[in-house]
Amino acid sequence: MHVHILGICGTFMGGIARLAREMGHRVTGSDHDVYPPMSNQLAALGIDIIHGFDPAQLEPTPDIIIIGNALSRGNPAVEAVLNRGLAYISGPQWLAENVLAERHVVAIAGTHGKTTVASMIAWILDQAKLQPGFLIGGIPTNFAVSARLGDAPFFVVEADEYDTAFFDKRSKFVHYHPQTVVLNNLEFDHADIFHDLEDIKRQFHQLVRTVPGNGLLIVNGADDNLRDVLDRGCWSTLAFFNAPPAGTHGTPAPAVWTGRPVNDDCTAFEIEYRGQPAGKIAWPLMGRHNMSNALAAIAAAEHAGVPPADACACLASFRSVKRRLEVIGERDGIRVYDDFAHHPTEIKETLTALRHHVGHNRIIAIVEPRSNTMRMGRHQQALPESLSSADLTLLYQPPGISWDVTSLAGGGIEVFASVTAIIERVAQQLATGDHVVIMSNGGFDGLASRLLERCGMTPASVH
């Protein structure tokens, strides 16, 4: 079967392409914005990528066309599909019908940490010889690919709340019908499709409604918004990680997973289950947010039959995900990181963790407000506080943004309208011991590789 994917270079659609290729299909696709790491994965698979959306790419006619949610009416290829009556489907529906139908689905939902938690769970199950399939919105370093079919029964999927397609405005995760669900956290995001937090809560409750009674919901008990979602109705077994406040209405705690840091940067911590020791972890990851992510992953793995102590042992060899505070260059005691950042909370957690790790060494954050919500200014007021752990922030004002980024200048924040100017500012003042964090959920005009070249650094893993 010939599968053609419109919008193939997104992290989700790139994973769909890999799964379809593993199933023996001929896969082609097109996109307008191609950058690593997904472009590298597709190239390694030998998948031809057409730049742009000229309708000529639909000749000869593919057997099925999978349309990504970044495409909308008015797109030339979309209009050709509709006008010619060609067979088309969304990525989530294709996944549900062709891969997930007879699998035990482990779904990870939340505003933050989905990719990391999904990667942790897949690694634990893999090391436990369960050979899980997975589709993750990033590339786990341990696997070097974002998706694989694996063996029955387990399939781990990053369950995104973003909408499915221009013809299906439900959240992607309602298609997956999981037996094990992680609800990691819940904040306002995706202002381009959600009016307010209440809109997102309704979608999360739709996910809760799809979990069977004998399924398991693993919930961050410290998150007020998730507890509000559960109060609207819950029909499945509950397990909390991070204990909810004592006496919280509507949050029974039949199982509570907690973590106790051994050091300030949380690179080592102890796990407790129901108040009893369950294991210890020492690993390269840092920060309380990653300790919390580990709790969720261990709880999910336990539901799949992996004992907590074994899961902890597996996580000791976990090596995170591409572009999650990933070291991409080093020289003379200077270290450069690439971090996939799109929300103030993520930025704050990452920089706070790094501060605990590096002590008084200088942190320079380079930030591109690229997500739709950032570009719309909905996180404008929260940005300065989220950057407080950095000594210096170089904030980019991209073309076409709807608010004046220069309004945030001052207090250690400098604003630039040019990526080249940012690179020169960093290069001219780097000193031994500095930690430079590039924070963007896009290609940032090649800033990472350009900065390394300008500073004479040997790339550790250039994107």
Percentage of the residues of the chain whose pLDDT score is greater than 70: 96
- Return the half-sphere exposure (C-beta side, CA atoms, 13 A cut-off) of residue 289: 23
Q: Tell me whether domains 102-315 and 326-459 share a fold.
A: no
- The model's pLDDT over 401-457, given as tens digits with 9 standing for 90+, comes to 888 888 888 889 999 999 999 999 999 889 999 999 999 988 888 899 999 999 988
Q: 109 pLDDT exceeds 90?
A: yes
Domain boundaries, the chain: 2-90, 102-315, 326-459
- The model's pLDDT over 336-346, given as tens digits with 9 standing for 90+, comes to 999 988 788 88
Q: In what order do the strands lie in the sheet with 147-148?
A: 147-148, 133-135, 154-158, 104-109, 180-183, 216-220, 237-241, 256-261, 268-273, 276-282
Give every CB contact of residue 438 below 8 A, 6+ residues apart in sequence.
336, 337, 338, 339, 366, 444, 447, 448, 451
pLDDT on residue 215: 97
Sign of CA dihedral 196, 199, 203, 209: positive
Sign of CA dihedral 431, 435, 441, 442: positive
pLDDT on residue 2: 97
| Diameter of the chain measured on Cα atoms | 63
Percentage of the residues of the chain whose pLDDT score is greater than 90: 73
For tokens 């495409």, name the residue.
Answer: 71
Q: 122 pLDDT exceeds 50?
A: yes
pLDDT on residue 255: 57
Q: 254 pLDDT exceeds 60?
A: no
When mean pLDDT is compared across 193-207, 217-231, 244-258, 336-350, the lowest value belongs to 244-258
Give every CB contact of residue 405 below 8 A, 6+ residues apart in sequence.
369, 395, 396, 397, 415
Q: 462 pLDDT exceeds 50?
A: no
Q: Which residue has the higher pLDDT, 246 or 271?
A: 271
Cα–Cα dist 349/390, whole Å? 12
321 DSSP 8-state letter: B
CATH 3.40.50.300 fits 102-315, yes or no: no
Highest CATH level, class, for 326-459:
alpha beta
Nearest to 155 by CA among 19, 24, 248: 19
Q: 82 pLDDT exceeds 50?
A: yes
Q: Which CATH architecture has domain 2-90?
A: 3-Layer(aba) Sandwich (3.40)
Q: In what order do the strands lie in the sheet with 64-67?
A: 48-51, 26-31, 2-6, 64-67, 88-90
What does the DSSP assignment read for 97-140? IIIITTSEEEEEESSS-HHHHHHHHHHHHHHTT---EEE-SS-B
Q: 93 pLDDT exceeds 50?
A: yes
Mean pLDDT of 366-370: 90
Sign of CA dihedral 87, 45, 53, 371: positive
pLDDT on residue 244: 61
Q: 249 pLDDT exceeds 50?
A: no
Give every CB contact of residue 21 below 8 A, 6+ residues apart in sequence.
27, 45, 47
Q: 378 pLDDT exceeds 90?
A: no
